[in-house]
Structure 1
């Protein structure tokens, strides 16, 4: 039994010693250059930075159509492209620049909310699809909608 264990140990040590080839001798220099170029290009990405991502319209009357302009800057080092902007419901519509936005340039995203048929507290969001590393950004809007038949005065709904 002791002989068998000793033989297994010697064989194991022999295998371990034979696997100690230097790994860096197997690296192809052409592949290193290709990887360096690929990694340098990966760093050239646009980045979108909004001045603010939330907006509260306050108290509005049902049926009001309100809008807010969200301003952003391309803080990356490649042209920014906004592919799509989709509201969480059909009552929220967005308009944006369709052309690429150069690094350092500013842009606007107009968000319009139609409160018709949307009484009480409303929280909506717009999901923006871009060519940034993250790929998606979210803008949020909020409004307290006074139901029809009541009127908002100075931000306070009146009872009937």
Structure 2
């Protein structure tokens, strides 16, 4: 009887070990299916993004040629807005359209050529600065076109001076 008990106990232990090993293998297989295998990075560049409905970005600069991208007004009188026209030429083989012009802040107004610009034709972006506060300034205007996703940044600079007879603002006094 004692031998029979030991035999049953041994068989039960063997079955328990067998079930435990099978369960562990099944768990490992499920985890392997859930986690994709790791691959080594061969280059430092990003891999191509997954396919989306969005069109690929055109990160080459615009094909239009600007006469200048910065203008310095010098000293200007407070309260008198000043304007500058930035001109450009369409040096591409396609018609270009300025799709947007955005000033850095509300102190600068913009205007631009809104009609399509054919190859060889010129267009204009006008920046008008409202000289309301004395001091130096540097403002940007961002131009967006249909031929590139890279924006063009135009800059206007200068110094606003108070007119003769106007007192300079008093320095702040701390109490």
The TM tier, using the shorter chain, reads: 0.5 to 0.7
Q: Is the 8 A contact 1:62 1:145 kept in 2?
A: yes
1:119 matched to 2:134? The reply is yes
Q: Name the CA shift for 1:150/1:53 in 2 (closer, same or farther; >3 Å).
A: farther
Offset, 1:150: 5.7
Q: Is the 8 A contact 1:46 1:78 kept in 2?
A: no
**Which ranges of 4 or more aligned residues in structure 1 deviate by more than 2 Å?**
132-135, 147-151
Give me the CA root mean square deviation: 2.3
Matches within 5 A, 1:6-155: 47-116=63-132, 118-147=133-162
Q: Is the 8 A contact 1:47 1:74 kept in 2?
A: yes
Q: After superposition, give the CA deviation of every residue in 1:56-100 in whole Å (9 maximum; x if it has no partner).
A: 010011111000111100111111111111110111111111111
Q: After superposition, give the CA deviation of every residue in 1:17-62 in whole Å (9 maximum; x if it has no partner).
A: xxxxxxxxxxxxxxxxxxxxxxxxx9xx962211011100100111
Could you say what secondary structure the match of 1:98 adopts? coil
Q: Considering only CA atoms, is the larger Rg found in Structure 1 or Structure 2?
A: 2
Q: Normalized against structure 2, the TM-score is what?
A: 0.56
Flag the structure with higher strand content.
1
